A and B are shown apart, each in its own frame.
Chain A
Amino acid sequence: MNLSDFLTMRHEIVLSVLALLILIIDLNLHNRDKHRIIPISISLFFVYTLVGFLPADKSVLFGGMYQTNPLLVMMKNILNVGVLIVLLQSVTWLKQDANREKISEYFILLFSTLIGMDFMISSGDFLMFFLGLELATIPLAALAAFTHHQTKSAEAGIKLLLNSALSSGILLFGISLIYGSTGSIYFDTITQLYRNTPLQVLAYIFFFTGMAFKLSLVPFHLWTADVYEGAPINITSYLSVISKGAAAFILIILMFTVFKTIAPIYNHILYLIAILTMTVGNLFALRQKNMKRFLAFSSIAQAGFILLGILGGNTMGMTSVIYFVLVYIFSNLGAFGVVSAIAAVTNKENMDDYDGLYATNPKLSLLMMLSLFSLAGIPPVAGFFGKFFLFASAASAGYYWLVFIAVLNATISLYYYLLVVKAMFINKSETPLAYFRSDNYTRIGLVLSGVGIFILGFWSQIYEIINSLSYGILP
């Protein structure tokens, strides 16, 4: 392996080295010094994030199993920035006594899932894709069951693991039928050989069902709320932001390359599932009182919007999905960051506990309001443009009714996002949460997500950059 190959795969290699390095450092630390791993890991990850931004070219390794191009590198960098914010926001929780011996495990498992997602995004055949997918899922189940003395956490872990195992089984059955009908597992060859025979359509349906589980689209969404509520809150934010973002990225790559030829057939499926996902996600979110469950259903509804960009089926659709995921990462991390900062200090995560928060913690309330406005899609912040481009790409493909339903859903979602804002700013409370100061890591994490929401809303070049990278990916 020479230097240029190393540079091509730098995301995966550096991250693997990082995970092993943390393991070795952990071995050499005494039990009472374990907390030193936190600054070491976060600064190493920060360096790694910077390394990821080095320029990259299009290239192929391992005989086509691994491919990369500037767009894929961009996707990985988006995920890296998101993970960096998650790490910063989880420090307060990690420093609690119950977690002191498990700090390094948290980082190693988290990095393993990120390696899996990187390999999944860069995969050039179904074998690599499947391996990446599993590497991204199995450690996540261990992370969801992280606080092993809590019954809810263990329940979340087994629900996540069994559901994802079932979904990868269904997905694999689809892949085996694709292999049987085309004779290859390489994306390039399959793209040329896909002829819409009944077997291939069936294979596609199996495959899409498996992916729908991972993205928690509606008929397959039932695990989401339980896992999100039971898992530790920082894992929840990782699951709903990074894991879902990576699944959306690989889904859109596969839809636009491998399964391009059966677009006339899968568009019907996507149309129905998009409507179901948005509506059911929104209607269930209306009645939630627990903030984690509330954000879980809101993230289900957001996944429905992503399907609009896939239905668009052109470069604009691809660009708008990537842009939307980027915006979604920052907005959701802002909301989860506030919830986790409050939960880490006061252990409260119900909507009623937020009554009168603005009087005691004005900065947290403002950031929460900004993130929720961005999730709802109110104009000055980034979320509006994310949704706007998705709607525009679906409308450019002629799906006017779908866009109309999506706009209706965006309005419904505004209602429940405003419920939280109302609780913080208008509702009076006898016993509001007392004022507290988060530690510096959490503050940096919160500021980063808030700044991200603003920059993405006002600095329009970022859309142009993604758009210029997206050209040439479509066959």
Chain B
Amino acid sequence: MIQNIPLSYFLVISTAMFFIGIYGFLTRRNLITMLMSVELILNSVNINFVAFNKYLFPQHLQGHFFMLIVIAVAASEAAVAIAIIINIYRNFKSIDVENVDEMKF
């Protein structure tokens, strides 16, 4: 049962996911993988919201609503990102960030 699992378990998982996402975003060289890392970050936020709502503040549903909105926004973000990535593939013939470097300091 869920009652036997303490809240801290969820928080450890979500924090780990958050930093895996940050690490992936900073080290991966493929645009799609970077997008996946961002999704990982957003999902860690969702776990946080739902866990806090369920354990600490079960009388309101604010955390659940926030999670739903975050999922919707993440989907729209991914749609625009993939559209631009397709465009990048047409222009550069690659989606590796090492090749997308026309502008630098």
Which residues does A use to contact B, with CB under 8 Å?
126-127, 130-131, 134, 138-139, 141-142, 145, 148-152, 154-158, 161-162, 165-166, 169-170, 172-173, 175-177, 179-180, 183-185, 225-226, 229-230, 284
* Complex-state Cα separation, A370 to B69, whole angstroms: 45
Q: Tell yes or no: B16 within 8 A of A by CB.
A: no
Q: Tell yes or no: B2 within 8 A of A by CB.
A: no
Checking A131, A142, A158 against B100 with a beta-carbon cut-off of 8 angstroms, the contacting residue is A158
* Complex-state Cα separation, A170 to B21, whole angstroms: 10
Interface residues of B, dominant DSSP: helix
Q: Check B103–A226 contact: CB distance below 8 A.
A: yes
Q: Check B69–A127 contact: CB distance below 8 A.
A: yes
* Complex-state Cα separation, A161 to B25, whole angstroms: 13
Q: Which residues of chain A come closer than 8 Å to B69, judged between CB atoms?
A: 127, 130-131
Interface size class of B (residues with CB under 8 A): 35 or more
Q: Across the interface, name the chain A residue whose C-beta is closest to B50.
A: A176
Q: Across the interface, name the chain B residue whose C-beta is closest to A176.
A: B48
Q: Across the interface, name the chain A residue whose C-beta is closest to B91.
A: A151
* Complex-state Cα separation, A148 to B104, whole angstroms: 20
26 A-B pairs within 8 Å (CB atoms) are namely: A130-B69, A130-B73, A138-B80, A141-B81, A151-B92, A151-B102, A154-B88, A157-B84, A158-B31, A158-B81, A158-B84, A158-B88, A161-B84, A162-B25, A162-B35, A169-B42, A172-B41, A176-B48, A176-B49, A179-B52, A179-B63, A180-B52, A183-B57, A184-B62, A225-B103, A284-B105
CB distance from A446 to the nearest CB of B (A): 27
Q: Which residues of chain A come closer than 8 Å to B56, judged between CB atoms?
A: 180, 183
Q: Check B105–A225 contact: CB distance below 8 A.
A: yes
Interface residues of A, dominant DSSP: helix
Known: A154-B91, A179-B62. A169 touches B80 (CB 8 A): no
Q: Across the interface, name the chain B residue whose C-beta is closest to A172.
A: B45
Q: Check A169–B38 contact: CB distance below 8 A.
A: yes
Q: Which residues of chain B come closer than 8 Å to A131, judged between CB atoms?
A: 69, 73
Q: Across the interface, name the chain A residue whose C-beta is closest to B88.
A: A154
Q: Check B70–A158 contact: CB distance below 8 A.
A: no
Q: Which residues of chain A come closer than 8 Å to B65, judged between CB atoms?
A: 127
CB distance from B97 to the nearest CB of A (A): 9
Q: Which residues of chain B come closer than 8 Å to A175, judged between CB atoms?
A: 45, 66
Checking A138, A157, A284 against B76 with a beta-carbon cut-off of 8 angstroms, the contacting residue is A138
Q: Check B84–A142 contact: CB distance below 8 A.
A: yes
Q: Across the interface, name the chain A residue whose C-beta is closest to B41.
A: A169
Q: Which residues of chain A come closer than 8 Å to B21, judged between CB atoms?
A: 169
Q: Which residues of chain B come closer than 8 Å to A225, judged between CB atoms?
A: 103, 105
* Complex-state Cα separation, A427 to B8, whole angstroms: 67
* Complex-state Cα separation, A126 to B44, whole angstroms: 17
Which are the 10 A-B pairs with shortest beta-carbon distances? A169-B41, A176-B48, A180-B52, A172-B45, A183-B57, A151-B91, A226-B103, A165-B38, A157-B84, A154-B87
CB distance from B24 to the nearest CB of A (A): 11
* Complex-state Cα separation, A94 to B57, whole angstroms: 52
Q: Check B48–A180 contact: CB distance below 8 A.
A: yes
CB distance from B76 to the nearest CB of A (A): 6
